Amino acid sequence: MTVTLAPGARSGSVDIPASKSQAHRLLICAALSQKPVTLLCEGLSQDIEATAACLRALGAQIVFMPGSIRVCPGGERSSVLRCGESGSTLRFLLPVAGALGRSAEFRREGRLPDRPLFPLDRELRRHGMALTERGASLFCEGRLQPGAYSLPGDVSSQFFSGLLLALPLLGGESRLQTEGALQSAGYLDMTLDALRQSGIEIKRDDSGFLVPGGQRYALPETAAVEGDWSNAAFFLCMGALSKKGAAVRGLSAASHQGDRAIVPLLRQFGADVAVSEDAVLVRKSALRGCVIDAAQIPDLVPALAALAALAEGETRIEHAGRLRLKESDRLSSVCAMLRALGADCRELPDGLEIHGRPSLPGGAADACGDHRIAMAAALSACGCEGPVQLAGAEAVEKSYPRFWADFSSLEAGV
Protein backbone atom coordinates (compact mmCIF):
# COMPACT_ATOMS: atom_id res chain seq x y z
CA MET A 1 0.00 0.00 0.00
CA THR A 2 1.33 3.42 -1.00
CA VAL A 3 0.13 6.51 0.87
CA THR A 4 0.77 10.19 0.24
CA LEU A 5 1.60 12.12 3.39
CA ALA A 6 0.88 15.84 3.38
CA PRO A 7 3.87 17.93 4.49
CA GLY A 8 3.95 20.14 7.56
CA ALA A 9 3.86 20.06 11.34
CA ARG A 10 1.20 18.09 13.22
CA SER A 11 -0.49 19.01 16.46
CA GLY A 12 -3.11 17.44 18.68
CA SER A 13 -3.29 14.41 20.95
CA VAL A 14 -3.22 10.62 20.64
CA ASP A 15 -4.28 7.79 22.95
CA ILE A 16 -1.45 5.31 22.56
CA PRO A 17 -2.26 1.57 22.33
CA ALA A 18 -0.95 -1.08 24.70
CA SER A 19 2.72 -1.97 24.81
CA LYS A 20 3.45 -4.83 22.44
CA SER A 21 6.51 -5.77 24.51
CA GLN A 22 4.60 -5.99 27.80
CA ALA A 23 1.65 -7.74 26.18
CA HIS A 24 3.91 -10.57 24.96
CA ARG A 25 5.21 -11.16 28.47
CA LEU A 26 1.90 -10.92 30.31
CA LEU A 27 0.17 -13.16 27.76
CA ILE A 28 2.77 -15.88 28.37
CA CYS A 29 2.54 -15.49 32.14
CA ALA A 30 -1.27 -15.65 31.95
CA ALA A 31 -1.20 -18.76 29.77
CA LEU A 32 1.16 -20.50 32.23
CA SER A 33 -1.02 -19.59 35.23
CA GLN A 34 -3.39 -22.09 36.75
CA LYS A 35 -6.46 -19.84 36.80
CA PRO A 36 -8.19 -17.57 34.27
CA VAL A 37 -6.66 -14.12 33.78
CA THR A 38 -8.07 -11.00 32.14
CA LEU A 39 -5.50 -8.67 30.58
CA LEU A 40 -6.62 -5.08 30.12
CA CYS A 41 -5.10 -4.35 26.72
CA GLU A 42 -6.10 -1.44 24.47
CA GLY A 43 -5.22 -2.33 20.90
CA LEU A 44 -3.81 -5.43 19.23
CA SER A 45 -1.17 -6.01 16.56
CA GLN A 46 0.13 -8.80 14.36
CA ASP A 47 2.89 -9.61 16.84
CA ILE A 48 0.54 -9.88 19.81
CA GLU A 49 -1.81 -12.05 17.76
CA ALA A 50 1.14 -14.30 16.82
CA THR A 51 2.02 -14.88 20.48
CA ALA A 52 -1.63 -15.60 21.28
CA ALA A 53 -1.86 -18.10 18.40
CA CYS A 54 1.25 -19.94 19.61
CA LEU A 55 -0.04 -20.03 23.19
CA ARG A 56 -3.30 -21.53 21.92
CA ALA A 57 -1.25 -24.24 20.20
CA LEU A 58 0.44 -24.92 23.56
CA GLY A 59 -2.96 -25.40 25.21
CA ALA A 60 -4.29 -22.03 26.36
CA GLN A 61 -7.75 -20.64 25.63
CA ILE A 62 -7.41 -17.00 24.51
CA VAL A 63 -10.32 -14.74 23.59
CA PHE A 64 -9.90 -11.17 22.34
CA MET A 65 -12.56 -8.75 23.60
CA PRO A 66 -12.86 -4.96 23.25
CA GLY A 67 -10.16 -3.54 25.51
CA SER A 68 -9.16 -6.87 27.05
CA ILE A 69 -7.86 -10.40 26.49
CA ARG A 70 -9.25 -13.39 28.40
CA VAL A 71 -6.73 -16.22 29.01
CA CYS A 72 -7.76 -19.59 30.47
CA PRO A 73 -6.13 -23.03 30.77
CA GLY A 74 -7.44 -26.14 29.08
CA GLY A 75 -7.57 -25.35 25.39
CA GLU A 76 -6.94 -27.67 22.44
CA ARG A 77 -3.31 -28.29 21.54
CA SER A 78 -1.50 -28.25 18.22
CA SER A 79 2.06 -29.05 17.22
CA VAL A 80 2.27 -26.06 14.85
CA LEU A 81 3.17 -22.66 16.31
CA ARG A 82 2.83 -19.79 13.83
CA CYS A 83 5.21 -16.97 14.81
CA GLY A 84 4.68 -14.71 11.80
CA GLU A 85 7.57 -12.23 11.81
CA SER A 86 7.63 -11.84 15.60
CA GLY A 87 11.10 -12.38 17.03
CA SER A 88 9.78 -12.03 20.58
CA THR A 89 7.24 -14.80 20.01
CA LEU A 90 9.86 -17.25 18.76
CA ARG A 91 12.60 -16.42 21.26
CA PHE A 92 10.26 -16.42 24.26
CA LEU A 93 8.26 -19.52 23.43
CA LEU A 94 11.00 -21.82 22.13
CA PRO A 95 12.43 -22.30 25.67
CA VAL A 96 8.90 -22.46 27.12
CA ALA A 97 7.98 -25.28 24.73
CA GLY A 98 11.10 -27.11 25.91
CA ALA A 99 10.20 -26.56 29.56
CA LEU A 100 6.77 -28.07 28.86
CA GLY A 101 8.36 -31.00 27.00
CA ARG A 102 6.41 -30.20 23.83
CA SER A 103 7.44 -31.31 20.35
CA ALA A 104 6.57 -28.41 18.06
CA GLU A 105 7.09 -26.80 14.67
CA PHE A 106 7.70 -23.05 14.82
CA ARG A 107 6.72 -21.50 11.48
CA ARG A 108 8.57 -18.28 10.67
CA GLU A 109 7.87 -15.61 8.07
CA GLY A 110 9.65 -12.64 6.49
CA ARG A 111 13.17 -12.05 7.80
CA LEU A 112 12.56 -14.06 10.97
CA PRO A 113 14.34 -17.23 9.70
CA ASP A 114 17.45 -15.08 9.13
CA ARG A 115 17.45 -13.44 12.56
CA PRO A 116 19.95 -15.03 14.96
CA LEU A 117 19.11 -17.70 17.51
CA PHE A 118 22.71 -18.40 18.49
CA PRO A 119 23.75 -18.84 21.27
CA LEU A 120 20.27 -19.43 22.69
CA ASP A 121 19.92 -22.53 20.51
CA ARG A 122 23.28 -23.79 21.78
CA GLU A 123 22.13 -23.52 25.41
CA LEU A 124 18.83 -25.25 24.64
CA ARG A 125 20.66 -28.13 22.94
CA ARG A 126 23.10 -28.40 25.85
CA HIS A 127 20.16 -28.83 28.23
CA GLY A 128 18.06 -31.51 26.56
CA MET A 129 16.37 -30.03 23.49
CA ALA A 130 16.82 -31.11 19.87
CA LEU A 131 16.39 -28.34 17.28
CA THR A 132 16.17 -28.85 13.51
CA GLU A 133 15.68 -26.24 10.80
CA ARG A 134 13.88 -27.08 7.56
CA GLY A 135 13.45 -24.02 5.43
CA ALA A 136 11.40 -21.45 7.32
CA SER A 137 10.33 -24.00 9.97
CA LEU A 138 12.16 -24.73 13.21
CA PHE A 139 11.35 -28.07 14.88
CA CYS A 140 11.98 -28.72 18.58
CA GLU A 141 11.84 -31.91 20.64
CA GLY A 142 12.88 -32.97 24.11
CA ARG A 143 12.45 -31.53 27.59
CA LEU A 144 14.59 -28.69 28.88
CA GLN A 145 16.69 -29.61 31.90
CA PRO A 146 17.82 -27.42 34.83
CA GLY A 147 21.47 -26.51 35.18
CA ALA A 148 24.04 -23.84 34.36
CA TYR A 149 23.22 -21.58 31.41
CA SER A 150 25.36 -18.79 29.98
CA LEU A 151 24.64 -16.06 27.41
CA PRO A 152 26.55 -12.99 26.19
CA GLY A 153 24.84 -9.74 27.06
CA ASP A 154 25.39 -8.04 23.71
CA VAL A 155 23.30 -10.29 21.40
CA SER A 156 19.65 -10.05 22.44
CA SER A 157 17.89 -9.50 25.74
CA GLN A 158 15.09 -11.66 24.29
CA PHE A 159 17.31 -14.73 24.77
CA PHE A 160 17.50 -13.98 28.51
CA SER A 161 13.78 -13.28 28.71
CA GLY A 162 12.91 -16.56 27.01
CA LEU A 163 15.03 -18.58 29.42
CA LEU A 164 13.79 -16.68 32.49
CA LEU A 165 10.20 -17.41 31.47
CA ALA A 166 11.00 -21.13 31.07
CA LEU A 167 13.48 -22.00 33.85
CA PRO A 168 11.04 -21.60 36.80
CA LEU A 169 9.00 -24.48 35.32
CA LEU A 170 11.89 -26.97 35.48
CA GLY A 171 12.31 -29.57 38.22
CA GLY A 172 15.49 -28.13 39.74
CA GLU A 173 17.44 -24.95 40.26
CA SER A 174 19.13 -23.21 37.33
CA ARG A 175 21.79 -20.54 37.00
CA LEU A 176 21.78 -18.09 34.07
CA GLN A 177 25.09 -16.30 33.80
CA THR A 178 25.54 -13.01 31.92
CA GLU A 179 28.76 -12.65 29.91
CA GLY A 180 29.58 -8.95 29.69
CA ALA A 181 27.28 -5.95 29.87
CA LEU A 182 23.62 -6.57 29.07
CA GLN A 183 22.19 -4.45 26.25
CA SER A 184 18.50 -3.49 26.01
CA ALA A 185 18.35 -4.03 29.77
CA GLY A 186 15.01 -2.25 30.03
CA TYR A 187 13.32 -5.10 28.16
CA LEU A 188 14.73 -7.60 30.64
CA ASP A 189 13.39 -5.47 33.50
CA MET A 190 9.96 -5.78 31.91
CA THR A 191 10.30 -9.57 31.94
CA LEU A 192 11.37 -9.60 35.58
CA ASP A 193 8.43 -7.36 36.46
CA ALA A 194 5.97 -9.72 34.73
CA LEU A 195 7.52 -12.66 36.58
CA ARG A 196 7.20 -10.86 39.93
CA GLN A 197 3.54 -10.15 39.18
CA SER A 198 3.14 -13.89 38.53
CA GLY A 199 4.63 -14.90 41.89
CA ILE A 200 7.85 -16.22 40.32
CA GLU A 201 11.04 -15.88 42.36
CA ILE A 202 14.21 -14.86 40.53
CA LYS A 203 17.40 -13.97 42.41
CA ARG A 204 19.66 -11.50 40.61
CA ASP A 205 23.30 -10.71 41.32
CA ASP A 206 26.26 -9.17 39.51
CA SER A 207 26.95 -12.27 37.42
CA GLY A 208 23.44 -13.24 36.43
CA PHE A 209 20.31 -14.96 37.76
CA LEU A 210 19.52 -17.83 40.12
CA VAL A 211 16.19 -19.46 39.29
CA PRO A 212 14.60 -21.96 41.69
CA GLY A 213 12.74 -24.77 39.92
CA GLY A 214 9.30 -26.24 40.51
CA GLN A 215 7.55 -22.85 40.56
CA ARG A 216 3.98 -22.16 39.46
CA TYR A 217 2.75 -19.09 37.67
CA ALA A 218 -0.06 -17.19 39.38
CA LEU A 219 -0.72 -13.90 37.60
CA PRO A 220 -3.51 -11.94 39.35
CA GLU A 221 -7.05 -12.32 38.04
CA THR A 222 -6.75 -8.94 36.30
CA ALA A 223 -3.57 -7.33 34.97
CA ALA A 224 -3.15 -4.19 32.90
CA VAL A 225 -0.87 -3.70 29.88
CA GLU A 226 0.71 -0.24 29.86
CA GLY A 227 0.73 2.17 26.93
CA ASP A 228 3.56 1.67 24.43
CA TRP A 229 6.50 4.07 24.81
CA SER A 230 8.19 2.71 21.67
CA ASN A 231 5.26 3.65 19.42
CA ALA A 232 4.55 6.84 21.36
CA ALA A 233 8.06 8.08 20.51
CA PHE A 234 7.05 8.88 16.92
CA PHE A 235 4.21 11.19 18.01
CA LEU A 236 6.33 12.77 20.75
CA CYS A 237 8.98 13.56 18.14
CA MET A 238 6.25 15.05 15.93
CA GLY A 239 5.49 17.38 18.82
CA ALA A 240 9.12 18.52 18.81
CA LEU A 241 8.54 19.81 15.24
CA SER A 242 5.29 21.64 16.08
CA LYS A 243 4.80 25.02 17.78
CA LYS A 244 1.37 23.88 19.02
CA GLY A 245 2.83 20.55 20.12
CA ALA A 246 1.58 16.99 20.34
CA ALA A 247 0.42 15.06 23.40
CA VAL A 248 0.37 11.30 23.95
CA ARG A 249 -1.97 9.90 26.60
CA GLY A 250 -1.87 6.50 28.29
CA LEU A 251 1.83 6.44 29.21
CA SER A 252 3.23 5.53 32.62
CA ALA A 253 6.20 7.61 33.75
CA ALA A 254 7.08 4.80 36.20
CA SER A 255 7.18 2.17 33.45
CA HIS A 256 10.02 -0.35 33.15
CA GLN A 257 9.93 0.13 29.37
CA GLY A 258 13.39 1.27 28.37
CA ASP A 259 12.00 3.47 25.60
CA ARG A 260 10.61 5.91 28.15
CA ALA A 261 14.13 7.32 27.67
CA ILE A 262 12.58 9.27 24.79
CA VAL A 263 11.70 11.98 27.35
CA PRO A 264 15.28 12.89 28.42
CA LEU A 265 16.47 12.42 24.84
CA LEU A 266 13.94 14.94 23.53
CA ARG A 267 15.11 17.37 26.19
CA GLN A 268 18.68 16.68 25.11
CA PHE A 269 17.68 17.70 21.57
CA GLY A 270 16.23 20.91 23.05
CA ALA A 271 12.49 20.19 22.80
CA ASP A 272 10.01 21.51 25.37
CA VAL A 273 8.70 18.46 27.25
CA ALA A 274 6.00 18.35 29.95
CA VAL A 275 5.17 15.09 31.77
CA SER A 276 1.95 14.57 33.73
CA GLU A 277 0.51 11.53 35.48
CA ASP A 278 -0.45 9.61 32.32
CA ALA A 279 0.49 11.87 29.41
CA VAL A 280 3.46 13.60 27.80
CA LEU A 281 3.25 16.89 25.87
CA VAL A 282 6.08 17.97 23.55
CA ARG A 283 6.42 21.34 21.82
CA LYS A 284 8.93 22.76 19.39
CA SER A 285 11.95 24.67 20.59
CA ALA A 286 15.41 25.22 19.09
CA LEU A 287 16.56 21.68 18.21
CA ARG A 288 20.24 20.82 18.16
CA GLY A 289 22.07 17.62 17.29
CA CYS A 290 23.69 15.42 19.91
CA VAL A 291 25.46 12.11 20.46
CA ILE A 292 23.15 9.17 21.25
CA ASP A 293 24.23 5.83 22.70
CA ALA A 294 21.61 3.43 21.32
CA ALA A 295 22.79 0.27 23.10
CA GLN A 296 19.82 0.25 25.51
CA ILE A 297 17.24 1.88 23.20
CA PRO A 298 17.57 0.34 19.71
CA ASP A 299 13.86 0.71 18.88
CA LEU A 300 14.06 4.49 19.31
CA VAL A 301 16.67 4.92 16.59
CA PRO A 302 14.27 5.39 13.61
CA ALA A 303 12.34 8.15 15.42
CA LEU A 304 15.49 9.82 16.75
CA ALA A 305 17.17 9.70 13.34
CA ALA A 306 14.16 11.33 11.68
CA LEU A 307 14.19 14.08 14.32
CA ALA A 308 17.96 14.54 14.00
CA ALA A 309 17.57 15.21 10.27
CA LEU A 310 15.66 18.37 11.25
CA ALA A 311 17.86 19.47 14.19
CA GLU A 312 20.68 21.99 13.80
CA GLY A 313 24.18 20.53 13.65
CA GLU A 314 25.40 16.95 13.72
CA THR A 315 23.83 13.96 15.45
CA ARG A 316 25.79 10.76 15.86
CA ILE A 317 23.96 7.54 16.81
CA GLU A 318 26.32 4.90 18.18
CA HIS A 319 26.26 1.26 19.37
CA ALA A 320 23.28 0.38 17.17
CA GLY A 321 24.76 -2.49 15.16
CA ARG A 322 22.05 -4.93 16.30
CA LEU A 323 19.54 -2.95 14.25
CA ARG A 324 20.87 -4.68 11.14
CA LEU A 325 19.06 -7.82 12.32
CA LYS A 326 15.52 -6.43 12.70
CA GLU A 327 12.59 -6.60 10.27
CA SER A 328 14.92 -4.74 7.93
CA ASP A 329 18.56 -3.73 8.22
CA ARG A 330 17.38 -0.67 10.13
CA LEU A 331 20.60 1.30 9.82
CA SER A 332 20.46 0.90 6.06
CA SER A 333 16.70 1.38 5.70
CA VAL A 334 16.54 4.42 8.00
CA CYS A 335 19.39 6.03 6.10
CA ALA A 336 17.83 5.22 2.71
CA MET A 337 14.43 6.61 3.77
CA LEU A 338 15.90 9.86 5.09
CA ARG A 339 18.13 10.38 2.07
CA ALA A 340 15.18 9.74 -0.25
CA LEU A 341 13.43 12.69 1.41
CA GLY A 342 16.49 14.93 1.12
CA ALA A 343 18.23 14.45 4.47
CA ASP A 344 21.99 14.44 4.96
CA CYS A 345 22.54 11.00 6.51
CA ARG A 346 25.52 8.68 6.43
CA GLU A 347 25.51 5.03 7.46
CA LEU A 348 28.22 3.88 9.89
CA PRO A 349 29.16 0.27 10.75
CA ASP A 350 27.21 0.46 14.03
CA GLY A 351 25.26 3.68 13.74
CA LEU A 352 24.33 6.80 11.79
CA GLU A 353 25.77 10.26 11.26
CA ILE A 354 23.18 12.92 10.46
CA HIS A 355 23.62 16.60 9.63
CA GLY A 356 20.37 18.41 10.30
CA ARG A 357 18.61 20.80 7.93
CA PRO A 358 15.82 23.32 8.62
CA SER A 359 13.48 21.34 6.37
CA LEU A 360 13.49 18.49 3.85
CA PRO A 361 12.14 18.66 0.29
CA GLY A 362 10.09 15.45 0.53
CA GLY A 363 9.82 12.74 -2.11
CA ALA A 364 9.24 9.00 -2.43
CA ALA A 365 10.39 6.49 0.20
CA ASP A 366 9.95 2.78 0.95
CA ALA A 367 9.14 1.27 4.35
CA CYS A 368 11.23 -1.83 3.48
CA GLY A 369 8.61 -4.03 5.13
CA ASP A 370 9.47 -2.50 8.53
CA HIS A 371 6.84 -0.94 10.78
CA ARG A 372 9.26 1.48 12.40
CA ILE A 373 10.55 2.76 9.06
CA ALA A 374 6.96 3.48 7.98
CA MET A 375 6.31 5.45 11.18
CA ALA A 376 9.63 7.30 10.85
CA ALA A 377 8.61 8.38 7.34
CA ALA A 378 5.39 9.86 8.76
CA LEU A 379 7.45 11.74 11.31
CA SER A 380 9.78 13.00 8.57
CA ALA A 381 6.80 14.33 6.59
CA CYS A 382 6.21 16.76 9.45
CA GLY A 383 9.46 18.50 8.49
CA CYS A 384 9.07 18.33 4.71
CA GLU A 385 8.16 21.12 2.29
CA GLY A 386 6.58 18.76 -0.23
CA PRO A 387 4.50 15.58 0.09
CA VAL A 388 5.96 12.19 0.97
CA GLN A 389 4.92 9.13 -1.02
CA LEU A 390 5.46 6.07 1.16
CA ALA A 391 5.39 2.56 -0.31
CA GLY A 392 4.71 -0.34 2.07
CA ALA A 393 2.70 1.72 4.54
CA GLU A 394 0.85 -1.43 5.66
CA ALA A 395 3.97 -2.48 7.62
CA VAL A 396 2.54 -0.65 10.67
CA GLU A 397 0.12 -3.59 11.14
CA LYS A 398 2.95 -5.46 12.88
CA SER A 399 2.89 -3.28 15.99
CA TYR A 400 0.40 -0.42 15.56
CA PRO A 401 -2.52 -1.17 13.20
CA ARG A 402 -4.31 2.11 13.86
CA PHE A 403 -1.21 4.25 13.35
CA TRP A 404 -2.46 5.89 10.15
CA ALA A 405 -5.82 6.69 11.71
CA ASP A 406 -4.10 8.30 14.71
CA PHE A 407 -1.70 10.16 12.42
CA SER A 408 -4.64 11.43 10.33
CA SER A 409 -6.40 12.67 13.48
CA LEU A 410 -3.69 15.27 13.96
CA GLU A 411 -3.61 18.63 12.21
CA ALA A 412 -2.78 17.20 8.77
CA GLY A 413 -3.53 13.68 7.57
CA VAL A 414 -2.90 11.04 4.97
Q: Judge whether 293 counts as a catalytic residue.
A: no
Taking 3-state DSSP, the helix, strand and coil percentages for the chain, each rounded to the nearest 5, stand at 35, 25, 40
SS3 state of residue 167:
helix
Say what angle helices 20-32 and 229-239 make with each other, to 10 degrees: 160
**DSSP assignments along 289-315, one per residue:** --EEE-TT-GGGHHHHHHHHTTSBSEE
d(CA 42, CA 66): 8
Sheet containing strand 291-293, edge to edge, reads 291-293, 314-318, 351-355, 344-348
Nearest to 266 by CA among 306, 307, 229, 230: 307
Separation of alpha carbons 236 and 267, rounded Å? 11
Question: Of 299, 366, 370, 406, which residue is the catalytic one?
Answer: 299
d(CA 88, CA 74): 24
Three-state DSSP class for 394? helix
Is the distance from CB of 54 to CB of 83 less than 8 angstroms? Answer: yes
**Dist CA 160 CA 153 (whole Å):** 9
- Please give the positions annotated as active site: 299
